[in-house]
Structure 1
Amino acid sequence: MDSVRLDSWVWAVRLAKTRSQATAACRAGHVRVNDQPAKAAQPVRVGDEVRVRLHGFDRVYRVTGLASRRGSAADAARYFEDLTPPAPPRVERPAPVLRDRGAGRPTKRERRELDRLRGVER
């Protein structure tokens, strides 16, 4: 076997929960092979680069083996290499200004701090 259907491979390596979800992702344009939009029936070969949009983030995988049947997660990990760049470090936000309940209206200074926290500029 020198190639496998793309939707079958995406399902077999556990990038999609069901085969129909894998097919729907291909139809929606969330799956690309070698930086080209891919249809569900496109053949995938060893060495191809598959880019999948999962949960709003692009993930990049290199095909290292062909799988047409779904197995355990440990088996699935043998069929791809994750090339996704690491996520940028999270920016720490300052602690929010908390007011006691029933403390009345905020002062002008407190309103400025709340606006700054919410990102509102006036």
Structure 2
Amino acid sequence: MADAQDKVRIDKWLWAARFFKTRSLATDAVEGGRVHLNGDRPKPARTVKPGDVVRVQVEHGEFTVTVLALAERRGSADVARTLYVEGEESIRKREALAFERSLAPQLDPAVVKGRPTKKLRRQIDRFGSGS
């Protein structure tokens, strides 16, 4: 879990904590401003230490976590969960956002392969003419 070092680069830690699938995605997120360390916008080489507060914005929500342990290597999901603790307010916000998303209508894109069929062509024509 924790290496002999007392500091780890933030991009490595985010990857080891399984917020991002690859280190390059973690680096891009840090450079893009979607990661904040103790309220500041860090560079990818900035080090984290236990006790730091990290705010991470990913596709499936925004996490505000406190660093508990350090790791340079990516381990199992069980090990990754021991690297941080998420704040209660962060959990509530993510759950509320997930609930709002579940209420939104789900629009599935039409799956069309190749040329449109005769029926689909008529529907397209009807839609375009406004009838």
Say yes or no: TM over 0.5: yes
Structure 1 residue aligned with 2:43: 39
**How far has the Cα of 1:28 moved from its partner?**
0.2
Structure 2 equivalent of residue 26 of structure 1: 30
Which letter does structure 1 place at the counterpart of 2:23? R
Of 51, 60, 66, 1:62 maps to: 66
Q: Residue 40 of structure 1: SS of its match in structure 2?
A: coil
1:77 aligned partner: 81
Query: Structure 2 length normalisation: TM-score?
Result: 0.66
User: 1:62-103 deviations in whole A, cap 9, x for unaligned?
Assistant: 00000100000001111100112403384797xxxxxxxxxx
SS at match of 1:36: coil
Instruction: Structure 2: give runs of 5+ residues left out of the alignment.
Output: 104-131
**Of 75, 86, 96, the match for 2:92:** 86
**Mapped pair 1:13 → 2:17:** yes
Identity %: 38
**Greater shift in the superposed pair: 27-36 or 82-91:** 82-91
What secondary structure does 1:67 align onto? coil
In structure 2, what residue type is equivalent to 1:3? K
Residue 35 of structure 1: SS of its match in structure 2? coil
Aligned to 1:53: 57
- Match of 2:15, SS state, is helix
- Deviant stretches of 4+, over 6 Å: none
Tell me the CA shift for residue 5 of structure 1: 0.2
Structure index of larger Rg: 1
